[in-house]
């Protein structure tokens, strides 16, 4: 059976700091973040699409705008939670799934700069 995998991304510039990094607060620093939503489907609709990119892109851009040119630590829930890349990836996944419940969302990858990323896929242990 055919399987389709789609990727939609958005970027934002934001600062953050970990409240506890190896036992001490980390200095505030910035990143060029990139969030990628991965959708998966085993069928195409009547127009030949697994899912429309447009609503996913709009939702990602709206969510990313909460952080853009700001400090992640000031955006709930990261005003309380340690804003690790892993936790921010889960936040994007959950918010995107809430906004687009019909989307076949499989994973969210969040890049903290060009070389480091975290991917969240639901269904595993450790959340």
Q: What pLDDT is attached to residue 124?
A: 62
Q: Is 39 helix (H, G, I), strand (E, B) or coil?
A: strand
Determine phi and psi for 47, rounding to 5 degrees: -95, 0
If you average pLDDT over residues 16-31, what whole number do you get? 92
- By residue range, what is the domain housing residue 108? 4-120
Q: Is 109 helix (H, G, I), strand (E, B) or coil?
A: strand
Tally of domains within the chain: 1
Instruction: Answer whether residue 16 is part of any domain.
Output: yes
Instruction: Answer whether residue 95 is part of any domain.
Output: yes
pLDDT band at 42 (very low <50, low <70, confident <90, very high): very high
Instruction: Answer whether residue 85 is part of any domain.
Output: yes
Looking up residue 52, the CATH number of its domain turns out to be 3.30.479.10
Instruction: Answer whether residue 57 is part of any domain.
Output: yes
Instruction: Answer whether residue 125 is part of any domain.
Output: no
Instruction: Answer whether residue 48 is part of any domain.
Output: yes
Instruction: Answer whether residue 115 is part of any domain.
Output: yes
Strand segments, DSSP code E, in 42-86 are 70-71
Secondary structure letter of residue 103 according to DSSP:
S
Instruction: Answer whether residue 127 is part of any domain.
Output: no
Q: What pLDDT is attached to residue 23?
A: 87
pLDDT band at 84 (very low <50, low <70, confident <90, very high): very high
Cα–Cα distance for residue pair 84/9, rounded to 1 Å: 19
Tell me what percent of the residues of the chain surpass a pLDDT of 70: 95
Q: What pLDDT is attached to residue 36?
A: 98
Reported as a single tens digit per residue, the pLDDT across 51-68 is 999 999 999 999 999 999
Q: What pLDDT is attached to residue 93?
A: 98
Cα–Cα distance for residue pair 48/103, rounded to 1 Å: 16
Reported as a single tens digit per residue, the pLDDT across 5-20 is 999 999 999 999 999 8
């Amino acid at each position: 059976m055919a399987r389709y995998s789609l990727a939609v991304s958005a970027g934002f510039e934001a600062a953050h700091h970990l409240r506890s990094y190896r036992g001490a607060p980390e200095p505030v620093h910035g990143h060029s973040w990139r969030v990628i939503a991965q959708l998966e489907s085993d069928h195409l609709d009547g127009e030949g699409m697994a899912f429309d990119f447009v609503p996913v892109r709009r939702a990602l851009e709206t969510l990313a705008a909460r952080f853009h040119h700001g400090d992640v630590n000031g955006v709930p829930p990261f005003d309380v939670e340690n804003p690790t890349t892993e936790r921010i990836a889960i936040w994007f996944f959950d918010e995107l799934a809430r906004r687009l419940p019909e989307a076949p969302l499989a994973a969210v990858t969040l890049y903290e700069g060009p070389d480091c990323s975290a991917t969240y896929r639901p269904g595993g242990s450790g959340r």
